[in-house]
Amino acid sequence: MSTAILSYIQLQIIRYATPIILIFGNLGNICIIISFSRRRQSSCAMYLLFNALFNSLYLTFNVSLSLYGLYYGNPTSSNLILCKFRYYLSQTWNQTATTFAILACIDRFALVTRHKYLQLINKSFICRIIIGITCISWHTLLIPTLFFVTIENRSCTFIGIYYLIYSIYIAVFLSLIPPILMIIFGLLSYHNMTQLHKRIRPMMSNHIVIIHRRDRQLFLLVLAQAIVYVLTIFPYPFIVLEVTITNQMGIQKSVEWIQIENFLSIIGVVLTYISCATPFYTYFMTSKTYRKDFLKSFTQCQRQSLVEN
């Protein structure tokens, strides 16, 4: 009975929850792209813009395949090219989006540090170089994924031991390193910002960086997104790792155990979708300045469209 209930809930989550996440996630990411495209001189805004772009790519690609598989059968179980590129593009776009979120945290730290070389990160031309390197690097580094994925028993999966390697990789590079880096640079930024406000006086040295209101608001946006990322991403890689290790050990699993693993895997995947879909709503609720700027931009777009019509 419990197995049937879990299967039913799992089906309903894919059928109803993921389309809602896809629609509202893409709408939110489009709003981020539009609002931050007006602030191209801000390095942090550009990192958040590209984070939203790759979040949207990741969401659209994976949710579309899941919904197609629900109604018409899993296309990756019969199409080898699509099978290979599902793993490759999913991980590439997810890692690229995550890296931009980390870079936004580092950018806020660089803004409030007194080290002049670290402050170069805030320069717009350096930001463009880092964005280009990030995109090229992840699209290149994950190419080996294409060679380790195949179709076995009508299932798209990794060859032999490579699934274990892949599970360890996503546990480390999705659930361990990014949260640690976000927490470290978030705490350092907060500490430096607090110390900076204590030292600011009317006649202070030019070496003291005065944090403007918009920069402080960007810090709040980055911190809020980092918290949401940690809460939503953390469970999934360890679920995958448990499934992989127990399979490699040859443990005989009951039907209930397998169903619970499948259910937890779906929950973990949906949480990663939520992580990619919620930045705009997190920004909107966190920052009064962002709300004002967005509503102002939205009103201007409305007026412009009315004038054109």
248 lies in some domain: yes
Neighbours of 167 (CB within 10 A): 22
For the chain (309 residues), the mean pLDDT of every run of 10, in chain order, is 76 92 95 84 89 96 92 88 93 95 88 73 88 96 91 85 84 85 83 62 44 67 86 83 80 82 89 93 85 76 63
102 lies in some domain: yes
* Contact of 230 with 179, CB cutoff 8 Å: yes
Give residue 210's pLDDT: 47
What contacts 24+ positions apart, CB below 8 Å, involve 8-13? Answer: 9/263, 10/262, 10/263, 10/266, 11/70, 13/266, 13/267, 13/270
306 lies in some domain: no
Give residue 305's pLDDT: 61
Residue span of the structural domain in which 272 resides: 2-199+209-296
Neighbours of 180 (CB within 10 A): 12
Looking up residue 90, the CATH number of its domain turns out to be 1.20.1070.10
Rounded to two decimals, the pTM is 0.88
287 lies in some domain: yes
For residues 261-296, one letter each, b for 16 or more C-beta atoms within 10 angstroms of the residue's C-beta and e for the rest, the string is: bebbbbebbbbbbbbbbbbbebbbebbebbeebbee
Total domains in the chain come to: 1
Give residue 199's pLDDT: 54
Give residue 206's pLDDT: 44
15 lies in some domain: yes
| Beta-ladder partners of 251 | none
